[in-house]
Structure 1
Amino acid sequence: MVVQHNMQAANANRMLGITSGAQAKSTEKLSSGYKINRAADDAAGLTISEKMRKQIRGLDKASSNAQDGVSSVQTAEGALTEVHSMLQRMNELAVQAANGTNSKDTDRKAIQDEIDQLNTEIDRVAETTKFNEIYLLKGDDGEKTINMKAHDAGLKGTLTDNGDGTATFKMDELNVGDTVSIGGKQYTIGATKADTDAAIDAANAKQANPDVTVNGVTYKYVAAKTADAGNNLGAVTAGYYVDGKYDNTNNQTATPDKAALADIKALATGGTTITVDNKDYKVINDAVADGVDDNDTSVITKQKAYELAGKELLAANHIGDTENKATVKNSDDSDLAYDKGDGTFKITVGQAKVANTLSFSLHVGADADMTNKITVDIDTMNSANLGIKGLNVTDKNGTAATYAIDAISDAISKVSSQRSALGAVQNRLEHTIDNLDNISENTSSAESRIRDTDMAKEMVNYSKNNILAQAGQSMLAQANQSNQGVLSLLQ
């Protein structure tokens, strides 16, 4: 027997220490709920868990970012709802003002007053709508120049936007005798002497020496004939004779009223109506050479019609042109005039200076990846950008109001386009939020399996270690008592 080394006690003490350490760890895991409380618990697991925690918290905040984005977009779109309502009211007013029963001094002025108020309110909405101190409809810092949309002034023809701030308008072909509406007035295309000469020549080319009627008097061509005394017929000189008056009986010589087509052409003077090949040509009486009949202002030449049409195009395209850039010229770049033009016009559209487009990005991901950015673009939604700044409907005959209807229609379309873009972004963000929440949930589940304590399993370990600790303490006590037998030898 030895007393210097009590190996039984030492062994029991060592095992009790191991059990107590394991028991302490179980207690820590059970009380914290985590099976990894320090790197020593699971170094690799801790690294994976912390990366997942970074992703989870980033995803949760990204979801919050997207929700804030939805709120900002809803704020802007809600404000544009009212802008749409005001534009619809302005359209009603413009249609009302275009009616000819309105008085310029009273009715149209009252309409203009309401249009001015609505315009001012649209500008106020654009200036004041904000979310978290960000002005949503005011635009961004800086300025840009925008082009207005080209207008055809209600003329019949084809309008082509060239995409470079210009447009081309080609009127439907005008022919002599056609009726055309320009600026709310009806005009008839009168003929010039050149028109009647060309018509007579064309008819002559189809059939030699055609019949020609001048102011209701028809001239027919009669070929030359020799005298026939036996039949009591005189000689006939070739030429044009008034229908119904030709007579060469009783040996009388017949002399034509007009010797040739050239003499018929010479009858085409101002106010004359020439009928050839079943078509009437009213020759315009234009002594002052302005393209307008001196006796009937509703009768004009084709070139005069082109001039008037060009001026109406200019008036229509000046709406919203705050920079006074709108111009209209003939296809050969000549200025509008009563004796020029071929019905094709070059339009330089109006312009306006507005604030730059507001653009902000929503970060909707946990990583520093630019694909996690969703950009929201919102144009300035004031009257200048909508092309209705300075809209005026107080002209004499309602033509300005008619053109205003087109401008308001463009403004409605522009607001609709912006609202559609915002609605598309909102729908995208809602899907983004659902996806982020789903990823966060699944990643949290994976991180839980790595880091969280399995309470049932750990409780089994704790109970086991608790029993072992009690047993160890009992065995240590017994081991300490085992050397007490040495005392009996020392008595």
Structure 2
Amino acid sequence: MALYINTNVSAMQANYNLSQTSNAMSSSLEKLSTGLRINSAADDPAGLTISNTLQAQIKGLGQAIQNSNDGINMIQTAAGALTEVTNLIQSMRTLAVSASNTAVNDTASRQADQYQINSAISSLKNIAATTAFGNVKLLNGNFGYNTQITTPNDISGMGVAASATNLNYLGNISMQIKQQATQAYMTGAFLGTSASGAGGTIAFSINTLDSAGNIINTQAITATIASGVSGSAALTNIVNAINQFSGTTQVFAALNTAAASGEVDLGSVQYGSKFSFSISPVTVSSGASGVVSGQLSGATATGGQDLVVQVGIGTAASAGDTLTANYIAGNSSGTSGQFVIADTASTNKYVGFYANLTLTSGSGGSGTVTTGNSALSASFEATANPNWTTAVGMLNTGSQVNVGVLAKNSATFQIGANAGQLVSMVINNLTPDALGFSAGLGESVSQINVQTLSGAQNAIQVLDAANTEVSVIASSLGAFQTNTLQSNVNSLSIAQTNLSASNAAIQDTNMAAEMTNFTRLQILMKSGIAMLSQANQIPSALLTLLQ
């Protein structure tokens, strides 16, 4: 081979090989120190693209697993609250069974049972209002069907029963009153006269009647008439005697002074056709004879009529369902109460919908109630039910009125690493206003009253229905937790493991193979340095030729 002084080809080749070995050794050191086979795009461009995609999936799966676990914790929070709801409902049912034992329980005992039930209802409302996961309420309809009311004068509550699922109606809610509610009444039960007597008593009974006209309660009443008293003064004594038993008889008396010598008008404190009353033949003592006249041989009141409302949801009210309201007395004196309309017939359009309507009047008869007869004076209206005359209703009987809107929300969970991998579930409203409608009695848990036998019997049925409703919801939550969320956690954990293994095969360093390669490069590095040193000595050998 040719020998040159200016160009040492052998040294250049040795230096090039040493440089390549040095680069390879640096790459090997990086792989061994990081544990990664791909430390930059230059290491494996295609592999880097695949690895980045896999890593995004792996991280997404990890978050999806966390999401599912959070969902499980949320469901467990709701289920824990439902346990206490069930305990309260069962406790209330026990009280209703006790109150039904009217042979041994007097009025005070049944009233005490009702006080306990009212306390339990308050607890149910509190549970529904406060049960939350973080700041998210769980049982107040936040994840179910909820309503917004736009006419608060007429409607105190509105929603979908806890038993309702998969509704096919949503949107604006409109109502139209087809028939206003009235009370049973009797005008001229007692008439004043100009005569006066030596004083005596007027004795009679007021009988409470059911919708079939059967007597369900009788209250004996005696009015004392003083000597020389006649006309409206005598009638006032009768009014006072009747009204002191109004809590028992559910009948009020009012003095109508518009009549010639005055008259006593009677009216029910309840609305609708389910309640009426009668008075038994009147016994007048000799000293009071001739002081009063009227229905002295006994009479039955003119029956009241029910509130009938046509409801439309998402459609005109005229195309909706016509519902008869159930009147729920607010207290024993009848000075407050509400109407409940509940769509419970399976053939109807809006099964599960309910609304609580207040007692309202209004010009042109636009409220929910009206006086049953024009002969009933303003004084009677004010005496028998003073509250309703102060609230002006908006549900005009001539046309439909928009009263609110019904919308659906649901609890939605992202349970996968990709868009669209969502599941959702509905947690119905579990306030006492929404529980118990599946009994088909037109009343909810919040409206049960065990102070009468019929009320206690209805309460048992309503609470049985509520207990079933809560059990079904609790079961659906448990099934969703086990079959959807927990199963998803198990599935995603396996997928995450498999994807991590695939990514490791692409991204991670095979330490054994790389260490073997590193050892080889170490030997080449030492050999290359030694050979470069030898190659650098070749030009100096030419000096011997110049001597």
TM-score if structure 1 supplies the norm length?
A: 0.59
> Which of 86, 91, 94 matches 2:93?
91
Question: Partner of 1:471 in structure 2?
Answer: 527
> Which of 26, 48, 51 matches 2:50?
48
Give the Cα–Cα distance (whole angstroms) in 1 for the partners of residues 161 and 412 of structure 2: 28
Asked if 2 retains the 8 angstrom alpha-carbon contact of 1:95 and 1:405, the reply is: yes
Give the Cα–Cα distance (whole angstroms) in 2 for the partners of residues 45 and 139 of structure 1: 50
Asked if 2 retains the 8 angstrom alpha-carbon contact of 1:149 and 1:410, the reply is: no
Q: 1:357 to 1:349 in 2, by over 3 A?
A: closer
Question: Partner of 1:460 in structure 2?
Answer: 516
Task: Tell me, yes or no, if structure 1 residue 378 matches structure 2 residue 435.
Answer: no
Give the Cα–Cα distance (whole angstroms) in 2 for the partners of residues 453 and 362 of structure 1: 37
Task: Tell me, yes or no, if structure 1 residue 64 matches structure 2 residue 66.
Answer: yes
Q: 1:352 to 1:457 in 2, by over 3 A?
A: farther
Question: Partner of 1:132 in structure 2?
Answer: 134
1:218-257 map, 5 Å: none
Task: Tell me, yes or no, if structure 1 residue 143 matches structure 2 residue 148.
Answer: yes
2:478 maps to amino acid: G
Q: Which has the higher helix share?
A: 1
Q: 1:148 to 1:319 in 2, by over 3 A?
A: farther
Give CA deviations for 1:112-171 in whole Å, capped at 9, x if unaligned.
111011000000011111101101112236438446699xxxxxxxxxxxx9xxxxxxxx
Task: Tell me, yes or no, if structure 1 residue 366 matches structure 2 residue 417.
Answer: yes
Tell me the CA shift for residue 317 of structure 1.
5.5
> Which of 324, 329, 337 matches 2:339?
324
Asked if 1 retains the 8 angstrom alpha-carbon contact of 2:325 and 2:339, the reply is: no
Asked if 2 retains the 8 angstrom alpha-carbon contact of 1:35 and 1:453, the reply is: yes
Paired residue total: 323
2:543 maps to amino acid: L
Give the Cα–Cα distance (whole angstroms) in 2 for the partners of residues 136 and 41 of structure 1: 52
Give the Cα–Cα distance (whole angstroms) in 1 for the partners of residues 464 and 128 of structure 2: 19
> Which of 8, 11, 14 matches 1:12?
14
1:216-365 map, 5 Å: 318=327, 324-326=339-341, 351-352=355-356, 358-365=409-416
Q: Which has the higher strand share?
A: 2
Task: Tell me, yes or no, if structure 1 residue 480 matches structure 2 residue 539.
Answer: no
Asked if 2 retains the 8 angstrom alpha-carbon contact of 1:356 and 1:380, the reply is: no
Question: Partner of 1:419 in structure 2?
Answer: 474
Give the Cα–Cα distance (whole angstroms) in 2 for the partners of residues 34 and 55 of structure 1: 19
Question: Partner of 1:120 in structure 2?
Answer: 122
Asked if 2 retains the 8 angstrom alpha-carbon contact of 1:67 and 1:429, the reply is: yes
TM-score if structure 2 supplies the norm length?
A: 0.53
Unmatched 5+ residue regions in structure 2?
150-157, 164-168, 170-208, 215-275, 281-302, 307-322, 331-336, 344-351, 358-403, 436-443
Asked if 1 retains the 8 angstrom alpha-carbon contact of 2:325 and 2:342, the reply is: no
1:431 maps to amino acid: S
Asked if 2 retains the 8 angstrom alpha-carbon contact of 1:316 and 1:403, the reply is: no
Asked if 2 retains the 8 angstrom alpha-carbon contact of 1:323 and 1:350, the reply is: no
Asked if 2 retains the 8 angstrom alpha-carbon contact of 1:91 and 1:409, the reply is: yes
Give the Cα–Cα distance (whole angstroms) in 1 for the partners of residues 54 and 534 of structure 2: 51
Give the Cα–Cα distance (whole angstroms) in 2 for the partners of residues 22 and 39 of structure 1: 16
Give CA deviations for 1:286-319 in whole Å, capped at 9, x if unaligned.
xxxx9x9x9xxxxxxxxxxxx9xx9xxx999656
1:472 maps to amino acid: G
Give the Cα–Cα distance (whole angstroms) in 1 for the partners of residues 26 and 412 of structure 2: 50
Tell me the CA shift for residue 416 of structure 1.
1.4
Give the Cα–Cα distance (whole angstroms) in 2 for the partners of residues 327 and 456 of structure 1: 75
Asked if 2 retains the 8 angstrom alpha-carbon contact of 1:108 and 1:394, the reply is: yes
Q: 1:69 to 1:461 in 2, by over 3 A?
A: same
Question: Partner of 2:446 in structure 1?
Answer: 389
Give the Cα–Cα distance (whole angstroms) in 2 for the partners of residues 142 and 356 of structure 1: 6
Tell me the CA shift for residue 88 of structure 1.
0.4
Q: 1:418 to 1:94 in 2, by over 3 A?
A: same
> Which of 400, 409, 415 matches 2:455?
400
Asked if 1 retains the 8 angstrom alpha-carbon contact of 2:58 and 2:499, the reply is: yes
Q: 1:469 to 1:352 in 2, by over 3 A?
A: farther
Q: 1:37 to 1:320 in 2, by over 3 A?
A: farther
2:428 maps to amino acid: D
1:143 maps to amino acid: Q
1:82-231 map, 5 Å: 82-140=84-142, 142-143=147-148, 145-146=158-159
> Which of 450, 454, 464 matches 2:506?
450
Superposed CA RMSD in Å reads 3.9
Give the Cα–Cα distance (whole angstroms) in 2 for the partners of residues 422 and 40 of structure 1: 52
Tell me the CA shift for residue 417 of structure 1.
1.9
2:489 maps to amino acid: I
Q: 1:418 to 1:479 in 2, by over 3 A?
A: same
Give the Cα–Cα distance (whole angstroms) in 1 for the partners of residues 353 and 62 of structure 2: 49
Asked if 2 retains the 8 angstrom alpha-carbon contact of 1:148 and 1:351, the reply is: no
Larger radius of gyration: 1
Q: 1:101 to 1:350 in 2, by over 3 A?
A: farther
Give the Cα–Cα distance (whole angstroms) in 2 for the partners of residues 433 and 149 of structure 1: 29
Q: 1:356 to 1:320 in 2, by over 3 A?
A: farther
1:367 maps to amino acid: N
Give CA deviations for 1:452-472 in whole Å, capped at 9, x if unaligned.
100000111111011001000
2:58 maps to amino acid: I
Asked if 2 retains the 8 angstrom alpha-carbon contact of 1:362 and 1:374, the reply is: yes
Asked if 2 retains the 8 angstrom alpha-carbon contact of 1:319 and 1:404, the reply is: no
Give CA deviations for 1:392-424 in whole Å, capped at 9, x if unaligned.
1112xx221011111111211221121122111
SS of equivalent to 1:447: helix
Question: Partner of 2:29 in structure 1?
Answer: 27
1:411 maps to amino acid: A
Give CA deviations for 1:13-39 in whole Å, capped at 9, x if unaligned.
000011111111111111111111111
User: What fraction of aligned residue pairs are identical, expressed as a percent?
Assistant: 34
Q: 1:352 to 1:30 in 2, by over 3 A?
A: farther
Give the Cα–Cα distance (whole angstroms) in 1 for the partners of residues 73 and 46 of structure 2: 41
Q: 1:364 to 1:52 in 2, by over 3 A?
A: same
Q: 1:139 to 1:349 in 2, by over 3 A?
A: closer
Tell me the CA shift for residue 184 of structure 1.
13
